[in-house]
Amino acid sequence: MSRILTSWKEIAQYFGKGVRTVQRWEQMYGLPVRRAVGNDHRAVLAVPEELDRWIHAQSVSPPSELDMLRHEVIALRAENESLRQQLAQSTIPAPPDGDLLLDYDLLIRSAQLIREAAELREHTAQLHSRTRVLATQLKKMSAFEYWVRSLHALSSAEPFSTPPSAEFADSSAAPTVH
């Protein structure tokens, strides 16, 4: 029978990672740990064989959330560009001379356009913020995916060279709003 890991520190040492990292893996990716029944919910147990199976399962089918985040970032960038174009096209025409009713209508329409422009700016800022959050999550998931694949490659002696999501590892890939 194999040794049972009885603390977060032992589990972290087994993976060669920090305690917070393996705790995050439990929450985000379902790292198989068992919790003690009773008052002390902080006490954990883990079986190395289960941890090994979990690692191999992660490397065979990486979290599909990674692909979803990539697609969401692409969609948000496209929506951001569309909103920029709408904002650029929402210009206020010059009022014609003489017609007060037409001037009043133009004034009302101008106020509407100003409100719409403000709403578009706000929506663009929200999209930018969400895109940054998603890009950060994508970088973290890419790093995790790379780590899992490299562990799998080491255990199976398969060649492994570069991270699968290297294009997102560079901070310059994060979207910008002007």
pLDDT of 109 reads: 80
**Residue 117 in tokens:** 């422009």
pLDDT at 173: 46
Residue ranges per structural domain of the chain: 8-60, 64-173
Considering only CA atoms, give the Rg of the chain.
26
Name the pTM for this structure.
Answer: 0.36
pLDDT reported for residue 167: 44
Structure tokens that stand for 99 in this block: 């017609």
DSSP 107: H
Q: What is the pLDDT along the chain (178 residues), one digit of tens a residue?
A: 578 998 999 999 999 999 998 998 888 888 999 987 766 667 899 999 999 898 888 764 444 566 667 777 888 888 888 888 887 787 655 555 556 566 677 778 888 888 888 888 888 888 888 888 888 887 887 778 777 777 776 666 555 455 544 444 444 444 444 4
Q: For residue 43, which amino acid is it?
A: A
Cα gap 134→126, rounded to integer Å: 12
Question: Which of 142, 127, 56, 50 has its CA nearest to residue 86?
Answer: 127
Write out the H or E segment, with its range, that includes residue 50: helix 48-60
Structure tokens at 134: 């998603």
Determine phi and psi for 5, rounding to 5 degrees: -85, 130
CB 110 within 8 A of CB 45: no
CA angle 138, 158, 162 (to 5 degrees): 35
CB within 8 A of 102, min separation 6: which ones?
95, 96
Strand partners, 5: 46
